[in-house]
């Protein structure tokens, strides 16, 4: 049991920050993102304590699957807020800038990157949930198509197609804004 606790502790240290960032990006609510991240590890621990850790081949995918299911449940409970409405709320805007779009250098180039990042996030909100999810998992969280497929319970080919189509739709949205 001590080995499982040590392994689980290491997994928590390795993946908790990225899971929190993913939850925060999806929910735009820091406290709720923290709660869902904690609940993800709680559910994972319950599974491991009952079934054993040997059953889990890819911890990262397993944890993202749990988190994504929790986020989906959260969406079902509450209507989502558009990014424009969220950015209109000054407190949330400051938090988002502080958490995700930090500018350490105060250089013009970094400011442009932050501006482009904000535009990309706004455009991402216009995509359907399937495309938005796979693009966030791929490019923000850095998961491979195989890991995304495992976490969503889809085939790798389906995920790759969604990524490709999502990028095309995102490009269309961004070019329409110019």
CA distance 61 to 143: 8
User: Does residue 42 sit within a domain?
Assistant: yes
User: Does residue 64 sit within a domain?
Assistant: yes
User: Does residue 161 sit within a domain?
Assistant: no
CATH number of the domain bearing residue 11: 1.10.1740
Domain count, the chain: 1
User: Does residue 129 sit within a domain?
Assistant: no
Q: Is the pTM of this model over 0.85?
A: no
- The alpha carbon of 17 is separated from its chain's Cα centroid by a whole number of angstroms, namely 11
Domain span at residue 70 reads 1-80
Tens-digit pLDDT profile for residues 26-43: 888 889 999 999 999 999
Tens-digit pLDDT profile for residues 85-101: 544 554 444 454 444 44
More confident residue, 136 or 86: 136
Long-range contact set of residues 40-45: C-beta below 8 Å, sequence gap at least 24: 40/66, 40/67, 40/70, 41/12, 41/16, 43/70, 44/8, 44/11, 45/8
CA distance 143 to 151: 10
């Amino acid at each position: 049991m001590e080995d499982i606790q040590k392994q689980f502790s290491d997994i928590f240290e390795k993946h908790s920050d990225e899971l929190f960032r993913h939850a925060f990006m999806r929910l735009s609510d820091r406290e709720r993102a923290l709660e869902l991240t904690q609940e993800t590890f709680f559910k994972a621990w319950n599974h491991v304590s009952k079934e054993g850790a040997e059953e889990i081949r890819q911890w990262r995918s397993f944890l993202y699957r749990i988190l994504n299911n929790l986020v989906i449940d959260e969406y079902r409970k509450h209507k989502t807020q558009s990014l424009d409405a969220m950015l209109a709320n000054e407190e949330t805007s400051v938090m988002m800038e502080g958490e995700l779009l930090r500018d350490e250098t105060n250089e013009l180039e970094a400011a442009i990157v932050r501006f482009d990042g904000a535009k990309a996030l706004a455009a991402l909100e216009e995509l359907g949930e399937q495309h938005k999810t796979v693009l966030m998992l791929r490019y923000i969280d850095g998961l491979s198509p195989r890991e995304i497929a495992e976490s969503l319970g889809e085939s790798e080919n389906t995920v790759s197609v969604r990524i490709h189509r999502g990028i095309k739709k995102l490009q269309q949205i961004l070019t329409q804004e110019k």
